[in-house]
Structure formats: C-alpha cells, structure tokens
Structure 1
Amino acid sequence: MTAAEICVVGVGYVGLIQAVGLASFGQRVECVDLDPRKVEMLKRGVPPIFEEGLEEALADVIDRDLISFTTNIADARSADLFFVAVGTPTSDRTGNARLDYLDAAISSIAEIAKDGAVIAVKSTVPIGTCARFQARLDRDHPEKSLHIVSNPEFLREGTALNDFFNPERIVIGGANEVARDRVRASYAGFEDRGVPMILSDTSTSETIKYAANAFLATKVTFINEISDLVETVGGDIDQVARGIGLDSRIGPQFLKAGPGYGGSCFPKDTLALATIGRRHGVQQQIVETVIRINDSRRFRILKRIEAAMGDKISGKRLAVLGLAFKANTDDVRDSPAVDIVHALLEEGAEVRSYDPVAKFSVDHRCYSQHESIAAACEGASAVLVATEWPVFKSFDFAAIENLVERRYIFDMRRIIDLGAAWATHWDIERIGSPMQKATA
C-alpha cells in the first residue's frame, strides 16, 4: 500500500463522505477516528451511517486500495493535507459550537505533521476560529510551517454523495495562497467541470457556511408561517409555495410546509450564528426569530393533534410514522418527529412508531418501536405521518383500516394521497390545510 497524501480526521457523516469521495477520484486517503468500533466496521466495508449509495462507494475504494482506516494519527504522518471533520456540538452553557474535539484533533495533527502540511477544517466553527488556531500553531510549532484553511461542507443528509460529486460551489478560505492551492488541487476534477471556487480569508469562509444554513432555515420557517395562515384563511399551501418558488429570485427549494427544520446542522448553526452576533454586539434578529418560531412549531402541532382528539391525548394510543428528521437518512438529531414523540408521552399518550431505517429509544413504558406500518398502527386512535419517506406516500389505507381504533391521519408532510384516504373513509388533517373529513 502506498502512503496516503491525504488524511481525513473524524469519519462521521461529513468526514466519511469526504474520504470516500476523494478516494473515488483515485487519491489515497488515510482515515483516522478515535472510535475503534467505527474503524473496525469501516475496515469491513460497513458504514456506521445510512446514506444512499455509500456502502457501494466505500466497497469500491476499499477494493481499489485507495482508503484505509486507523485509530492512530501517527499512521498519517506522511500526509501533506489533513481534512478535519470532527463534531462541533452546541455548548449547553454558551449556545455556541464546542471546539474541544477540534482542538484535540488539530493538536494531534500538529505533533506528527511534516513541515509544510495543510490542515483544512471542514467542521462548522465560529467565525474567527481558524485564524485563532493558525496563531496558536505559529506560536507552538515554530519549527514547522503548518497552515490552517477553512473548507466548509455543504452536504445534505440523504443526498450527501450526490452533493459531494456535484457541488454547487467549493469554498476555500486561508491566509496562505500555497495552502489554499493545495486544498484546491484536491478538488481539481471539479474545477475542470466549471464548479465555482470561492477563495477567501478564513473568516469569510466561516461566515458563508453559517449564513447559508441560516438563510435556508429562514425559508423553511417562512413557508411554515404562511402555511399557518392558509390553515385559517383557506387556500392551498402547495400552490402558494409553487407560485412564489417559480420566481427565480426566490427558488422552489426549502418551501415545503412541514413540522419545522431539524437534523444536525440547522438547529446548531442558527443558534451559533445568533450567539456570535450577540457576542459581537451585532444581534442577528432575523435568525433569532427563526429559532423561536421553529422551536414553537412542535407545540402548535401538538395543540392541533389535541384538538382533533377532543382535547384529550392522555390514555390514547397514537402511531407515529417516521422518526428521522427527513427521509433517506437514519439521523434523529433534533428531529421534529422525535420531539413530537416526547411531547405525546408527556401528555400521557401511548406511542407506537415505525421508521424504515431510523432507530430511537426512550426509557418510557408507553413507547414502542415496530417493524412495520401495520404493527405500529394497531389499535391507534390517530396515525401521524412525521417523516416524508416514500413508503408513506403510498400508504395502504385498506390494509390497516380494521387495525386502527379510529380512521384519522395527521399528515405533517403533505405526502398522503387524499383520494386514497377518502376512498377508504379516513379523516385526514394536513399541515397547511383545515380538517378534511371523509364522506360516508
């Protein structure tokens, strides 16, 4: 095996996609992670996360001897480019991103890296972080010329491999032109295809990442507020979204009414941006409002479910279909579906759930997860569709009509076929619409 020129530190969601993607281009990649269980799984070609196409892509680069996995950073001492993709979770104390994992990773790299090595930070970090780490490297390792570059990721869970191979832009921020060019060279295939390369300083690069996610979160929240209005005054929220989305200045993406944004990025990054703004005396009022509205959306949905249940949830059995924060992923971090499960349990309901991929466990005697839609719906007074999995779009009402206690479905994702529901005499309620009762 030839020595790797590229090392990826942290092979969670972002790091693994980065490593497999670069290896797919024929570059030798060494992957380092402190979790020995994860490393052993990856050596066997088993991804620790669910992402469409990832298992096949991983098997391909393993077979071509282009990727390897280790828990020992010293195994990557020959690399001249390190991509760091460790977690930066929200601090409960400050509301900002925690940097202890990143700090440890960069310190470990600095100890073993050769002179001239470049450290590209893919982790989402507060603005100014890379500049501070660069100053520390210059102070603590004057014998080496080590350079920090900001290279944020723009992957969407569920389509991450496609996003890697078909990026809309690549952002590279750094003070040293040679270091920026080294990172740029690793993406040479993209530049040849005309993918825009944004070369900047590190603060600009860090800001682009936060601003992009905050703007998308704002679009999600905006259409949800309009959806609430449509529920009251009448109309079709899908047509409203289409009508404004066809405006090229707005665009159709992220205009799907639902239970609010979730996942590992939007909640964390909006909160961090608001915290950064307050710390610098430049309050991000739009972002702070977005956070408040999104947080309250689960409560609004709960109130609507209560109203449909006659203001009494306690003692009722409810089926929740979908646990992941979005389809095509197993990620339940900050998932609206999971928040609603918790809220229902707190109200005294019995909750039975089903998700094609995602798993969620809670120590509660009234919660259970099942292996099929039918098993989750047995005896339910209400069926709640919380994630937009394709299998729920073709919901077989006839197959479970005799299993449920009441033929009532609350579609939080607006994916259920209304005609099929009415044909089997189900009452259906949807985000962005008033109650629609079946005719006898």
Structure 2
Amino acid sequence: MQAQTICVVGVGYVGLIQAVGLAKLGLKVTCVDLDASKVAMLKKGIPPIFEDGLEDALREVIARGNIVFTTDIGEARDCGLFYVAVGTPTSERTGNARLDYLDSAVAGIAEIAPAEAVIVVKSTVPIGTCAGLQARLDRNHPGKGLEIVSNPEFLREGTALKDFFNPERIVIGGTSEAARQKVRDSYAAFEDRGVPMIVTDTSTSETIKYAANAFLATKVTFINEISDLVETVGGDIDQVARGIGLDSRIGPQFLKAGPGYGGSCFPKDTLALATIGRRHGVQQQIVETVIRINDSRRFHILKRIEAAMGDKLSGKRVAVLGLAFKADTDDVRDSPAVDLVHALLEEGADVQSFDPVARLAVDHRGYSQCETIAEACKGVSAVLVATEWAAFRTFDFASVEALVDRRYIFDMRRIVDITASWVPRWDIERIGSPLMRASA
C-alpha cells in the first residue's frame, strides 16, 4: 500500500476508529468531514467521542504524520481507496435506514476520485444498497471504473480500538476481484496474523452485518425473558446464564440480564432488518418479536419501580446512576437509562443523575445532572443503577446513608455487591431477583 492512497469520509464513531486504526498500522490517511468544529478538534488531537485509548492513539498518529483532517473532499483527489463511514439513521417515516448522507458522500467522492478508485461502504446499510450505488456510479461516471465494496464494521463501543486491532473476522463484499483485493490489501497486517477473511458479494456482506446484530439482540432479549421467569419462580439468573453460556454452541456473551439493549446499532439495525423483510415479503418474525419485547422492557421496569415505591412516583426524588447505554462510552443514543429518566419525569418524579462521562441535556425543572454519586443520592427515595460503570460496582453506599430519605436500590444491571457490609441496612431489588429487604 503506497503512501497517501486512503481517505476516510465521515469521522464519527466508526470512521474515526477506522482512520486511526489504519494510521497506526503505518498507512497514510486523509480524513474528511463536513463538521468544521469537529475537524478543528481532531487537528488538535481531541476526539469528539469517549473511547478507551483513542485520544492517545490519535495524538500518536498525528505526531507521526500518518493522518490529516479536512473539510474539503478535494484534498483527497489522489486517493485510490475511500472508506465511507457516514451516519445512516433510522427514518421515522419508513423505519428503514436513511441513505441521504451516504448518497451525498459517494457522489462527492465520485466527482474527485481518480479512475479505478474503490469506494468502501463502512456504514450499515439496507441489503442491496451497494448494488444500487454501483449502478448509479456506472450510469453517472461511465468509463471511470469506480467500484463499490461493502466492508461492515463489528466494533463494540467502549472497546472499539481494541476490536479494530483484534478482529474476529473481516468481511469484504464486491463484484470486482481487483476492487476486493485493494480493500484486502489495506488489511494485510490482519491477514498475515490469520484473521479470517470473508470475501463475498455486496448483498451477502450487508446481510452478515444485520444478521449478526439481530442475533446478539435476540440473546439479550432471551435472557431478559428468562430473568422475568426467575423473578417469579425463584433461582439465580446469573447462574442460569452461566449454565447455558458454558455450552460452546451458545457462548456466554450477551447473556447478562438487564434493562434491554440500546445504543446506536441494535435498535436501528433490528428495525431496519424487520423493515427489509416486510418489504421483500419475507417477514422476520423472530426479529420483530425481539423488537417488541425490548421496547416493552422499559415499561416493565418502570412498573416495577412504581410498585416498589407505592405505585406513585409523583413528588418522589430518584437518583439515576448512569446515562450511557453501556459502560465505557459516552453514547446515550437509545439508552435504557435515558428512557427511564424521561419516563420518571413524565410520572412526576424529580430525577438526579450521575454518569462518569455521559451528559444529557434535559429541559425539565425536575431534572438535574450531578457531579458525584453522593450528590445524586442526596435526599432521594430510591437509587437506580442504570449503567454498569465500575464506579457503581465498587461504590460504598454506606457513605451516603445519611443523605438519602430511604435506603432503596434498584439494581438494573446486577452489579451491586450484595456481599458488602452495608447491604443488610438497605432494601435492594435486582433485575432477575426478588426484593432483598433491610434487616436493620
């Protein structure tokens, strides 16, 4: 791979990890984004997202001269390989992924790209999108030989940089062997290590991405339903999860009972897959059921909180610990914690929240975001542990006993240490368990 041949268009979560990862591998990367303020931050080595190790890695590749940032796609006209990682948000009207950002990015690249350039779609897109983009390029730029390749990402927020450097597989879909090989060459360091390369057509590649996320979302939803059963009949949901997860055919990941899946991928991708199935007359009944159950999960938790607090939340003060949809990220998109904050406010409760990195803008006189756990707990009738941050796992709730109106914890993530010395003095209710009543 020769210097100055790679461009990444769209340096949000996926694009920035891709760009920094390739730059750390020694490749030269030009990053293009229309957001001038974001580009200015990145030039200073400040990432716009929180991700473990990202800032150090970004500053390293900037110092090495392996990465540059610009708002002008024209500065990438010498690149032969373009990775496109723009957003594909869900359309409220159709339920499908919106492709206007992607269409605009590809059109802009096509205008400046050299002949035989390869445009790689990292964004998650409906099945058939890449084939449609290829047809449009062939029609609008005949003779230029531009090729579309699908290369979905499989990053986990919170461990994205680690995932980039330790992929379980790399999927490359295209119609031209030369184009697929060009993308494959950019991942040569991984192929040399024996990372599986799935080289296929674009539709298969697009389907792999949706199917993978839908299957993981199904595991999350399945264990939550089993958790509800355990709450009723008795037992230990953690041991149930371990007992089935040790089966190599099932595996232990995504079997943690909790408030349901959230974030920028699972809600959007399951909805899109269900929409694609209906459009093609092949209803994805399992996926549609998963969506319905996950959507109702927040309501189920709210009802349980109301029952524990006397069926009336109006006027009650509640601490919500955690806003991000999972630990080690600042992403609050489709976060169960955020949904519960809004639901509590709608029920008339006053909410005091704390998250180590995530921020939430809520224009409501009953809401405040605090700077410490202790501040969030002051004067509350209940503490909701909504995100599995390590700080909540190890927090000594004895230190806030004098601050709370009632010693009540609702542990939605099953992370509170129920062997701690202060536990007998608190009422503790956990997802998948009956209420543990205070004995003192």
* 1:130 corresponds to: 130
* 1:63 corresponds to: 63
Instruction: Please list the CA deviations of residues 257-291 of structure 1 after superposition, one character each: whole Å capped at 9, or x if unmatched.
Output: 00000000000000000000000000000000000
Structure 2: how far apart are the matches of 1:289 and 1:207? 19
Structure 2: how far apart are the matches of 1:298 and 1:421? 31
* 2:149 corresponds to: 149
Conserved 8 A contact 1:397-1:421: no
* 1:315 corresponds to: 315
Conserved 8 A contact 2:341-2:351: yes
1:434 maps to 2:434: yes
Q: Shift of residue 143 of structure 1? A: 3.2
1:272-421 equivalent positions in 2, closer than 5 A: 272-420=272-420
Query: What is the DSSP-based 3-state SS (H/G/I as helix, E as strand, rest coil) of the residue aligned with 2:68?
Result: strand
Q: Shift of residue 395 of structure 1? A: 1.6
Q: Shift of residue 422 of structure 1? A: 4.7
* 1:228 corresponds to: 228
Structure 1: how far apart are the matches of 2:304 and 2:111? 56
Amino acid at match of 2:176: N
Q: Shift of residue 438 of structure 1? A: 2.0
Query: What is the DSSP-based 3-state SS (H/G/I as helix, E as strand, rest coil) of the residue aligned with 1:216?
Result: helix
Query: What is the DSSP-based 3-state SS (H/G/I as helix, E as strand, rest coil) of the residue aligned with 1:429?
Result: strand
Structure 2: how far apart are the matches of 1:333 and 1:426? 32
Amino acid at match of 1:29: V
Instruction: Please list the CA deviations of residues 123-149 of structure 1 after superposition, one character each: whole Å capped at 9, or x if unmatched.
Output: 000000000000000000013010000
Structure 2: how far apart are the matches of 1:201 and 1:263? 28
* 1:17 corresponds to: 17
Q: Shift of residue 421 of structure 1? A: 6.2
* 2:37 corresponds to: 37
Conserved 8 A contact 2:152-2:205: yes
Structure 1: how far apart are the matches of 2:318 and 2:35? 37
TM-score, normalised relative to structure 2:
0.99
Distance 1:146 1:232, change over 3 A: same
Q: Shift of residue 398 of structure 1? A: 1.4
1:37-186 equivalent positions in 2, closer than 5 A: 37-186=37-186
Amino acid at match of 1:255: L
Structure 2: how far apart are the matches of 1:125 and 1:3? 29
Q: Shift of residue 300 of structure 1? A: 0.3
Amino acid at match of 1:378: K
Structure 1: how far apart are the matches of 2:378 and 2:238? 31
Q: Shift of residue 419 of structure 1? A: 2.2
Amino acid at match of 1:267: P
Structure 2: how far apart are the matches of 1:392 and 1:273? 35
Of 412-421 and 38-47, the range deviating more from structure 2: 412-421
Structure 2: how far apart are the matches of 1:253 and 1:392? 21
Amino acid at match of 1:297: R
Conserved 8 A contact 2:167-2:195: yes
Distance 1:362 1:423, change over 3 A: closer
Query: What is the DSSP-based 3-state SS (H/G/I as helix, E as strand, rest coil) of the residue aligned with 2:419?
Result: helix
Structure 2: how far apart are the matches of 1:389 and 1:4? 40
Instruction: Please list the CA deviations of residues 104-139 of structure 1 after superposition, one character each: whole Å capped at 9, or x if unmatched.
Output: 000000000000100000000000000000000000
Structure 2: how far apart are the matches of 1:423 and 1:290? 35
Structure 1: how far apart are the matches of 2:3 and 2:245? 49
Query: What is the DSSP-based 3-state SS (H/G/I as helix, E as strand, rest coil) of the residue aligned with 1:60?
Result: helix
Amino acid at match of 1:416: V
Structure 1: how far apart are the matches of 2:432 and 2:71? 49
Instruction: Please list the CA deviations of residues 151-182 of structure 1 after superposition, one character each: whole Å capped at 9, or x if unmatched.
Output: 00000000000000000000000000000000
TM-score, normalised relative to structure 1:
0.99
Instruction: Please list the CA deviations of residues 23-76 of structure 1 after superposition, one character each: whole Å capped at 9, or x if unmatched.
Output: 001100000000000000000000000000000000110000000000000000
Instruction: Please list the CA deviations of residues 228-267 of structure 1 after superposition, one character each: whole Å capped at 9, or x if unmatched.
Output: 0000000000000000000000000000000000000000
Amino acid at match of 1:122: K
Structure 2: how far apart are the matches of 1:107 and 1:136? 9
Structure 1: how far apart are the matches of 2:311 and 2:94? 38
Instruction: Please list the CA deviations of residues 280-329 of structure 1 after superposition, one character each: whole Å capped at 9, or x if unmatched.
Output: 00000000000000000000000000011011110000000000000000
Structure 1: how far apart are the matches of 2:437 and 2:73? 61
| Unaligned residue ranges in structure 2 (runs of 5+) | none
* 1:271 corresponds to: 271
Query: What is the DSSP-based 3-state SS (H/G/I as helix, E as strand, rest coil) of the residue aligned with 1:418?
Result: coil
Amino acid at match of 1:298: R
Q: Shift of residue 439 of structure 1? A: 1.2
Query: What is the DSSP-based 3-state SS (H/G/I as helix, E as strand, rest coil) of the residue aligned with 2:425?
Result: coil
Conserved 8 A contact 2:398-2:422: no
Instruction: Please list the CA deviations of residues 320-363 of structure 1 after superposition, one character each: whole Å capped at 9, or x if unmatched.
Output: 00000000000000000000000000000000000000000111
| Unaligned residue ranges in structure 1 (runs of 5+) | none
Of all paired residues, the percent bearing the same amino acid is: 80
Query: What is the DSSP-based 3-state SS (H/G/I as helix, E as strand, rest coil) of the residue aligned with 1:291?
Result: helix
Structure 2: how far apart are the matches of 1:77 and 1:377? 55
Conserved 8 A contact 1:267-1:334: yes
Structure 2: how far apart are the matches of 1:255 and 1:74? 47
Structure 1: how far apart are the matches of 2:349 and 2:270? 32
Query: What is the DSSP-based 3-state SS (H/G/I as helix, E as strand, rest coil) of the residue aligned with 2:48?
Result: coil
Amino acid at match of 1:62: I
1:187-266 equivalent positions in 2, closer than 5 A: 187-266=187-266
Query: What is the DSSP-based 3-state SS (H/G/I as helix, E as strand, rest coil) of the residue aligned with 2:420?
Result: helix
Conserved 8 A contact 2:397-2:422: no
